[in-house]
Amino acid sequence: MNATASIATRHDWSLAEVKALFEQPFNDLLFQAQTVHREHFDANRVQVSTLLSIKTGACPEDCKYCPQSGHYNTGLEKQKLLEVQKVLQAAADAKAIGSTRFCMGAAWKHPSAKDMPYVLEMVKGVKALGLETCMTLGKLDKEQTAALADAGLDYYNHNLDTSPEFYGNIITTRTYADRLETLAYVRDSGMKICSGGILGLGESLDDRANLLIQLANLPEHPESVPINMLVKVKGTPLAEEKDVDPFDFIRTLAVARIMMPKSHVRLSAGREAMNDQMQALAFFAGANSIFYGEKLLTTVNPQANKDMELFARLGIKPEEREEHADEVHQAAIEQALIEQKSSEQFYNAAV
């Protein structure tokens, strides 16, 4: 398969085609991925996002990789849903260090009716700061999805994690069909989708290919595709799993770029274990989004200044987000401050 033939957006990938991509010589695969990448993106711009855990630990799901699962003893300190004002302050801090998207994650199987009002206030407040908004709250029903969309949520993150065939080895408390249903609700509501997977769970090459096929063969590609490398946490069933070969990880990023040419492919969890050379290869393979800051929910992440130093060495700049004129932007900031105060009153009255 030549590079130019794969640039068209497709939704009919077969396993044989995707395995053929994976099995190309490494240089050929990266050249093809870089060609596709440059067709749709500035090759020297990377989207910078910040992720905040708004509710930590005691999750009823049994995901074998997750330190937040209530099924495993990982020593994680549990934390109730954060106050709205604390979330908005964290968002303002993230914007100050260069983030353009603020992602909020809660360790839930699904959001409860009592928590939804606070979640919606968070979306409105972060949006008023001029940031793109993203949330991951678990499984959604139609009403919850519509409420998030009405509040102005830009992206909903709901990872498929792995292939349908391997999924049951990793999670038993939620089905693959449940995950696809939530993605369908999100798409139907008009929000954008952030969905990807994790490498290093013990999956095969076929599993990696089938994960990407599930994503690329959706009616519309996810606008954001996070590719995570397992962060092994003591106390989880996968704590002793074999490390992912760095070249295999880069190959997966490259194949994701080729299959979903217009999506942001995010170099996500596991970056702390990657040296600068591996991250540089990841950007060359078509990754053009990272999480920025010291933490990814509960695991460490390269510090912001270290990321900016690497960007400077590579000639990469953060992707800019178009904002309103200065006076309109200032009004949004002022409105966000007003909402912070009202959110505090709202929260205190409720508790």
Question: Which sequence positions are flagged as catalytic?
Answer: 59, 63, 66, 103, 134, 194, 266
Please provide residue 49's backbone torsions phi and psi, each rounded to the nearest 5 degrees.
-125, 155
Residue whose C-alpha is closest to residue 321's, from 116, 80, 153, 99: 99
Confirm or deny that 271 is annotated as ligand binding: no
Confirm or deny that 194 is annotated as ligand binding: yes
The answer to whether 153 and 125 are in contact (CB under 8 A) is no
Which position has the token pair 């999750």? 59
The phi-psi region of residue 8 (left if phi > 0; otherwise alpha if psi is between -120 and 50; otherwise beta) is beta
Write the CB contacts of 335 (distance below 8 Å, at least 6 apart in sequence). Answer: 128
CA distances from 142 to 89, 139, 147, 266 (A): 30, 10, 9, 27
Confirm or deny that 63 is annotated as ligand binding: yes
Question: What does the block give as tokens for 167?
Answer: 């999924």
Confirm or deny that 101 is annotated as ligand binding: no
Confirm or deny that 134 is annotated as ligand binding: yes
* CA atoms of 37 and 276, how far apart (whole Å): 21
Which position has the token pair 């199987």? 109
* Residue 243 CA to its chain's centroid (Å): 21
* CA atoms of 243 and 251, how far apart (whole Å): 15
Residue whose C-alpha is closest to residue 152's, from 170, 134, 168, 169: 134
Helices (H), ranges, 239-325: 246-259, 276-284, 304-314
The length of the chain, given as a count of residues: 351
Residue whose C-alpha is closest to residue 197's, from 259, 148, 140, 152: 259
CA torsion, ordered 118, 122, 123, 128, to nearest 10 deg: 140
The answer to whether 16 and 1 are in contact (CB under 8 A) is no
* CA atoms of 135 and 189, how far apart (whole Å): 14
Binding-site residues for [4Fe-4S] cluster, please?
59, 63, 66
Binding-site residue numbers for [2Fe-2S] cluster are: 103, 134, 194, 266
